[in-house]
Amino acid sequence: MSNKNFDINNLWREKEEVLDLTHQVSKEFLRALPHRNVLPSKEDVLNLEQFVYKLPENATNATAIIKELNTLGSPGTMLTASPRYFGFVNGGALPASIAAMWLATVWDQSPTMKLMSPTVCKLEKVVEEWIVDILNLPSDTTCSYVTGTTTADILCLVGARNYVLKKYGWDVVKKGLIGAPKIRVIVGEEVHTTMLRALRVIGIGNEQIEKVSVNKAGVIDITALPRFNDEPTIVCLNAGNTDTGGFDDFNYIIDKAKKYGAWVHVDGAFGLWARTSQHYRYLTKGIEKADSWATDGHKWLNTPYDSGIALFRNERAIQESIQLKANYLIQDSEDPMNTTLETSRRARAVELWAALKSLGKRGVSEMIDNSCRLTKYFESQLKAAGFEILNEVFINQVMVSFGSSKKTKLMIKAIQDDGLAWFSGTNWQGKEAMRISVSNWATTTTDIDRIMELILKLNKEIKA
Ligand SMILES: Cc1ncc(COP(=O)(O)O)c(C=O)c1O
Q: How remote is the CA of residue 258 from the centroid of ligand 1, in Å?
A: 25
Residue 263's DSSP bridge partners are 234
What string of DSSP letters covers 15-49? Answer: HHHHHHHHHHHHHHHHHHGGGS-SSPPHHHHHHGG
Average pLDDT over the chain, rounded to whole?
97
The preferred substitution site among 86, 90, 151, 194 for testing ligand 1, maximizing ligand atoms within 8 Å of CB, is 194
**Per-residue CA distances from 13 to 41, 58, 188 (Å):** 37, 18, 57
Q: How remote is the CA of residue 7 from the centroid of ligand 1, in Å?
A: 43
Phi, psi at residue 76, to the nearest 5°? -85, 0
pTM exceeds 0.75: yes
Ligand 1 pocket by Cβ (under 6 Å)? 89, 148-150, 192, 194, 240, 242, 267, 269, 296, 308
In the prediction, which pLDDT does 3 show? 79
Q: Count Cβ atoms below 10 Å from residue 464 Cβ, excluding itself.
A: 5
Q: By alpha-carbon position, which residue is closest to atom 15 of ligand 1?
A: 269
Q: By alpha-carbon position, which residue is closest to atom 3 of ligand 1?
A: 269
Distance CA 225, CA 212 (A): 6
pLDDT digits (tens, 9 = 90+) for 269-326: 999 999 999 999 999 999 999 999 999 999 999 999 999 999 999 999 999 999 999 9
**Per-residue CA distances from 82 to 49, 85, 155, 378, 444 (Å):** 24, 5, 31, 17, 11
What structural domains does the chain harbor? 8-73 (no CATH), 98-356 (3.40.640.10), 366-463 (3.90.1150.170)
Distance CA 443, CA 436 (A): 13
Instruction: Give the residue-averaged pLDDT of 418-435.
Output: 97
pLDDT band at 463 (very low <50, low <70, confident <90, very high): confident
pLDDT exceeds 60 at position 241: yes
CB 94 within 8 A of CB 441: yes
Distance CA 128, CA 134 (A): 10
pLDDT exceeds 90 at position 93: yes
Q: How remote is the CA of residue 239 from the centroid of ligand 1, in Å?
A: 11
Q: Which of 73, 141, 325, 265 is nearest to 335 (CA)?
A: 325
pLDDT digits (tens, 9 = 90+) for 329-347: 888 888 999 999 999 999 9
pLDDT digits (tens, 9 = 90+) for 334-387: 899 999 999 999 999 999 999 999 999 999 999 999 999 999 999 999 999 999
pLDDT band at 1 (very low <50, low <70, confident <90, very high): low
Q: By alpha-carbon position, which residue is closest to atom 12 of ligand 1?
A: 269
Q: Count Cβ atoms below 10 Å from residue 70 Cβ, excluding itself.
A: 17
Q: How remote is the CA of residue 149 from the centroid of ligand 1, in Å?
A: 5
Q: Which atom of ligand 1 is nearest to the CA of 240?
A: 1
Instruction: Give the residue-averaged pLDDT of 62-86.
Output: 97
Q: In the chain, pLDDT over 70 holds for what percent of residues? A: 100
Q: How remote is the CA of residue 89 from the centroid of ligand 1, in Å?
A: 9
Segment holding 264, helix H or strand E: strand 263-267
Q: By alpha-carbon position, which residue is closest to atom 10 of ligand 1?
A: 148
Q: Count Cβ atoms below 10 Å from residue 455 Cβ, excluding itself.
A: 24
